[in-house]
């Protein structure tokens, strides 16, 4: 199925085709992403149209809002894979999680079953508005358990006031950064777009994620992939998505 909102490609895309995604919300009904299996299948078809070969979907885990567990996520993944196969969707589908650094995070981290990415990276997010008081301690704890802390969409945190200084501090602590691709196109506002450009220009981006929740966001992704800013990311940064085979 060809999605009509995707532009006809009269020119080659400005940057490499991104074949692996590590941040999305495709498992239906367990967070603020897809709400039905039909919606999930539409999202997966759109990702295939964009050139993706593999997605690692990452449901939210938040103590007060999305009380997901590894069991819930794995069962949802199995259902999603079965439905995708029945529809002839050839995407490889795996799952991790996007952990919110809240009062339940330490329990999740020490539960003995962490939904990491490739048994290596722990994808985490914080409040957009306020920096957690124990953020550095939480980062140290992630490292102490043997995982590499991977911060989701660092460009979108409004508490970042001195971007280059604060991002550099995270890097010193051993944090890797996953940029939301649609930030490059201004989808999340001018501040997020500006911070995305700062990260790109200074070679701080490690992974690129779609963070797709809804079908409209795949249209924005198509625009980003044809942008000069996307090409610049590849020129200035060492992007590691391809290592998630």
**Residue range 90-109, pLDDT digits in tens:** 999 999 999 999 999 999 99
* pLDDT exceeds cutoff 60 at 84: yes
User: Are the CB atoms for 179 and 206 separated by under 8 Å?
Assistant: no
Q: Does residue 5 sit in helix, strand or coil? A: coil
C-alpha to C-alpha distance for 232 and 234, rounded to whole angstroms: 5
Q: Which of 97, 108, 99, 100 is CA-nearest to residue 58?
A: 97
At 9 the pLDDT is 46
* Position 7 pLDDT exceeds 60: no
The reported pLDDT for the residue numbered 15 is 85
pLDDT in tens, 134-189: 999 999 999 999 999 999 999 999 999 999 999 999 999 999 999 999 999 999 99
- How much is the pLDDT for 193? 98
The reported pLDDT for the residue numbered 6 is 53
Residue 179 class from Cβ within 10 Å (0-12 exposed, 13-18 middle, 19+ buried)?
A: buried
Domains of the chain as residue ranges with CATH: 20-238 (3.20.20.140)
Helix residue ranges, H only, the chain: 37-49, 70-86, 105-109, 135-144, 163-172, 190-201, 215-225, 228-236
| pLDDT above 90 (res 212) | yes
At 119-139, the pLDDT tens digits run: 999 999 999 999 999 999 999
Mean pLDDT (the chain, rounded): 95
Q: What is the pLDDT of residue 10?
A: 43
Calpha distance 49→54 (Å, rounded): 12
Contact 102, 64 (CB under 8 A): yes
Residues 219-229: tens digit of each pLDDT: 999 999 999 99
Q: Which two tokens stand for residue 21?
A: 């995604």
């Amino acid at each position: 199925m060809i999605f009509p909102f995707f532009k006809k490609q009269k020119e080659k895309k400005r940057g490499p085709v991104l074949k692996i995604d590590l941040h999305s919300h495709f498992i239906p009904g367990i967070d603020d992403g897809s709400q039905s299996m039909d919606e999930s299948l539409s999202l997966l078809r759109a990702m295939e149209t964009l050139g993706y070969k593999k997605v690692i979907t990452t449901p939210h885990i938040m103590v007060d809002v999305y009380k997901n567990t590894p069991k819930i996520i794995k069962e949802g993944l199995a259902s999603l894979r079965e439905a995708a196969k029945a529809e002839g969707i050839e995407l490889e589908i795996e799952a991790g999680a996007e952990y919110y650094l809240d009062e339940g995070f330490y329990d999740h981290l020490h539960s003995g079953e962490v939904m990491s990415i490739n048994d290596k990276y722990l994808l985490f997010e914080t409040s957009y508005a306020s920096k957690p008081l124990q953020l550095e301690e939480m980062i140290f704890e992630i490292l102490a358990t043997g995982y590499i802390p991977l911060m989701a969409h660092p460009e979108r945190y409004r508490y970042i006031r001195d971007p280059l200084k604060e991002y550099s501090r995270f890097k010193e602590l051993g944090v890797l950064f996953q940029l939301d691709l649609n930030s490059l196109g201004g989808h999340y506002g001018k501040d997020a777009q500006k911070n995305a450009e700062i990260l790109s220009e200074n070679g701080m981006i490690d992974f690129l994620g779609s963070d797709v929740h809804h079908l409209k966001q795949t249209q924005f992704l198509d625009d980003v992939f044809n942008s000069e800013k996307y090409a610049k990311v590849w020129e200035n940064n060492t992007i590691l998505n391809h290592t998630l085979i």
